[in-house]
Structure 1
Amino acid sequence: MANIAVIGTLDSKGIEHQFVADQIRKRGHTTLLIDVGTGGPPQVAPDVSRQEVAEAGGICLDDLMSRQDRGECVSAMADTIPRLMRQLLDQGRIDGVISLGGGGGTAIGTAAMRALPIGFPKVMVSTMASGNIEHYVGTKDIVIIPSVVDVAGLNRVSRTIFTRAAGAICGMVESQVEPNRDDRPLIVASMFGNTTQCVNAAVPILEAAGYEVLIFHSTGAGGKAMESLIESGMIAGVLDITTTEWADELLGGVMTAGPHRLEAAGRANVPSIVVPGCLDMVNFGARDTVPDKFSGRNIYIHNPQVTLMRTSPEECRELGSILANKINQYTAPVSVLIPQQAVSGISAKGGPYHDPEADQALFSSLTGSLRGDVDVRLADNEINDEAFARLCAETLLENIRLHQASS
């Protein structure tokens, strides 16, 4: 039997959260009903009051509510609920968490969930699930279920959605995860569809050397998650083959990992290799989402939901300088590997993004802006050639050995 936290604004959505709690109890689990409402009195009796939630974060709830500013109240609860959740986790009082909400409830519920470790069961039923949910999920494994109808009463649709969501969180807490017995040191790698062959060929070489490799998809969230893990101190090496997120950051694409991508390895003093993989492309959504200012550019439809734009020589020159400035901050051994024949699966000769002028602008800017002591290796290969993948893996292993020898 597990104890599942049910978090909600019980002043406006108490009946709905009570329904979910009842469904969980029917499955044989217990619940901890937590009130994060700041309006009228709760519709149902909570197990953890809004006053207790506020106190966990050092907030005076009476002062907060007296100002009658809903936005301020939501922000305050979103700030304090993570502290309460960490306390409950440390005390062994919760085994999973579920919440229902609109904009405010989703902000509070997901703030609570982001405070919990990866692997801890988390389910959010939200009216916001059909839009951009990156700021709600962050780098955590939060399951977001669209509410379809508003979280405003019980009806034939909401009962179905809420019942299935309760079943989902119950199934998650009932699933037994095998304890981790793998004590191999960790390497992280960045990958895209256009660099998959390279990463897939490099991984077995690293595994044969005694490492476990975690692969992150360079879609923005993937890069952020990888950076976060590097900074945690758990990582022995970084196989950063796919730095494409910087093209999106520079040009307003949808897969940016933000301005701090490529900084964690420097701060954490982790040996690395860096490749300008897929810096030939910027990612947008469906074709009609490409901004009008880019009309006339080299556009490639990757699939109905993803449209690519080829980076120009001027943009590549700036990207090379950005990467070099980040790499110049690295303290552990780092190598920059350049596949001179193609930086992606579609930039090889004959491909839609083959542009030697743009590639040369990228390579010259990158190598010309690096510190003099940074190891640079030019390879007469395409990025997905097996020989280049082997070079990436073996160079990273060499850098790890150098780092270990100097420690």
Structure 2
Amino acid sequence: MSVVIIGTLDTKAEEIGFARDVLEAQGVDVHVVDAGVMGEPGFEPETTASEVADAAGTTLEHLREEADRGEAIEAMGDGAAEVAQRLHDEGVLDGVLGLGGSGNTSIATAAMRALPVGVPKVMVSTMASGDTEPYVGSRDVTMMYSVADIEGLNQLSRRIISNAALAMVGMVSNDPDVDVEERPTIAMTMFGVTTPCVQAARERLEDMGYEAIVFHATGTGGRAMESLVEEGVVDGVLDVTTTEWADELVGGVLSAGPDRLEAAGDEGIPQVVSTGALDMVNFGPRDSVPEEFEGRQFHVHNPQVTLMRTTPEENAELGEIISEKLNDATGPTALVLPLEGVSAIDVEGEDFYDPEADAALFDALRSSLEDDVELLEMETDINDEAFAAKLAETLDGYMREAGRAP
């Protein structure tokens, strides 16, 4: 068992040394990576700060001469990521532990995000009680709030650092003994308003012999799915819920970025896509919605989530964007349209029922898709069981043609 600790030994050597001692007392080998820039390390690490800088394509001398904190943090984060990947590839990294303030949190979590999902990652941070998305991203990073600043050892910091180190010991030393059945893996996307569809499609696919991994289409969920597709973890994609593109286009809070809907096409794996929840843009509490959207149609999903109906003009643009992404796919691709509603609240009698807006979306898709993309249409809403069955059967057909079926 080997744990890598990433930290700035010019400022946090005492605390990092304490974490090292706790780990070693439990029989764990420790490899310390020094990410400090301005001062000398409090003790000799296994990987020096100079080596980390070199891994980032720069030098420690240059970073010291520039004395630019932002540049230094970015460079050491890049270097730490390279070092962590190398150590993992060499089989000497079973888990990674970090501790520090905003600077070292940025550096250590950059390294953590570079590692595969499933590798234990624990970050003790002064930043863990706020917005952790920049640090966690789409990876399984465990954030532990340090409560007090990480500055010297005291009764509080010793207990918290010990807890983090012992948690890491538990992660790296215990085999969960989970039976893993090798089955083709399907990635799926879901939102609350597309849940019945995804549940029914998942159950049908699992009955066919596939394993399904469902991602919540909240921005990070879409990015996580795309990254796992790129890593080769996924054999096929059932992208029911493409709502993150509405947030990317209009300015909602759940965007997955401009690369969403590209990974499956780039990797050439079978994908079946639909238009789930493209009727909505996501915001936080109602009073957090930007003033520019006043006068639009809203649905308060809960006190923390406010949904805004997309307009015909926005839907037409979304249709063109999605068509462009699917047209570029190198593998078998289908788009399946639910003509009677793209979400649970986009059906007759519900708040977002708007046939004109849906028609603008569907017309743009029809006119923009190239012949290589199979276009299927059904006179149902997205949560109809027959629609879910069509999605699953279409993907299964592609998987069989590609030799990826069970």
State the shift of 1:228 in Å.
1.9
Q: Do 1:57 and 1:84's aligned partners in 2 also have CA atoms closer than 8 Å?
A: no
Matched, 1:367 2:388: no
State the shift of 1:136 in Å.
2.0
Which TM-score applies when normalising by structure 1?
A: 0.93
Matched, 1:235 2:234: yes
Q: Do 1:279 and 1:311's aligned partners in 2 also have CA atoms closer than 8 Å?
A: yes
State the SS of the aligned residue for 1:11: coil
AA aligned opposite 1:221:
T
1:8-407 correspondence runs (5 A): 8-178=7-177, 181-404=180-403
Cα separation, 1, equivalents of 2:30 and 2:356: 62
Q: Do 1:324 and 1:366's aligned partners in 2 also have CA atoms closer than 8 Å?
A: yes
Bigger mean CA offset, 47-56 vs 136-145: 47-56
Runs (4+) of structure 1 exceeding 6 A deviation are none
State the shift of 1:332 in Å.
2.6
What 5-or-longer segments of structure 2 have no aligned partner? none
Bigger mean CA offset, 371-380 vs 174-183: 174-183
State the shift of 1:107 in Å.
1.4
Which TM-score applies when normalising by structure 2?
A: 0.93
Q: Do 1:243 and 1:276's aligned partners in 2 also have CA atoms closer than 8 Å?
A: yes
Cα separation, 2, equivalents of 1:56 and 1:318: 42
Bigger mean CA offset, 372-381 vs 271-280: 372-381
CA-to-aligned-CA distance 1:57-92 (integer Å, 9 cap, x gap): 454323332332222222221121122212222333
Task: Give the 3 Å change call, closer, same or farther, for CA 58–277 of structure 1 in structure 2.
Answer: closer
Cα separation, 1, equivalents of 2:401 and 2:321: 26
AA aligned opposite 2:172:
V
AA aligned opposite 1:355:
D
Q: Do 1:348 and 1:382's aligned partners in 2 also have CA atoms closer than 8 Å?
A: yes
Q: Do 2:327 and 2:372's aligned partners in 1 also have CA atoms closer than 8 Å?
A: no
Cα separation, 1, equivalents of 2:231 and 2:115: 15
CA-to-aligned-CA distance 1:357-392 (integer Å, 9 cap, x gap): 211111111222211453222212121111111111
Cα separation, 2, equivalents of 1:8 and 1:200: 43
State the shift of 1:223 in Å.
0.8
Q: Do 1:333 and 1:402's aligned partners in 2 also have CA atoms closer than 8 Å?
A: no
Q: Do 2:13 and 2:41's aligned partners in 1 also have CA atoms closer than 8 Å?
A: yes
CA-to-aligned-CA distance 1:42-66 (integer Å, 9 cap, x gap): 2344343223333444543233323
State the shift of 1:217 in Å.
1.1
Bigger mean CA offset, 366-375 vs 320-329: 366-375
Cα separation, 1, equivalents of 2:211 and 2:227: 18
State the shift of 1:181 in Å.
4.1
State the SS of the aligned residue for 2:353: coil
AA aligned opposite 2:102:
G
Task: Give the 3 Å change call, closer, same or farther, for CA 206–65 of structure 1 in structure 2.
Answer: same
Cα separation, 2, equivalents of 1:350 and 1:8: 56
State the SS of the aligned residue for 2:10: helix
Q: Do 1:332 and 1:403's aligned partners in 2 also have CA atoms closer than 8 Å?
A: no
State the shift of 1:280 in Å.
0.7
Cα separation, 1, equivalents of 2:269 and 2:55: 36
Q: Do 1:321 and 1:366's aligned partners in 2 also have CA atoms closer than 8 Å?
A: yes
AA aligned opposite 2:141:
I
State the SS of the aligned residue for 2:139: coil
AA aligned opposite 1:231:
E
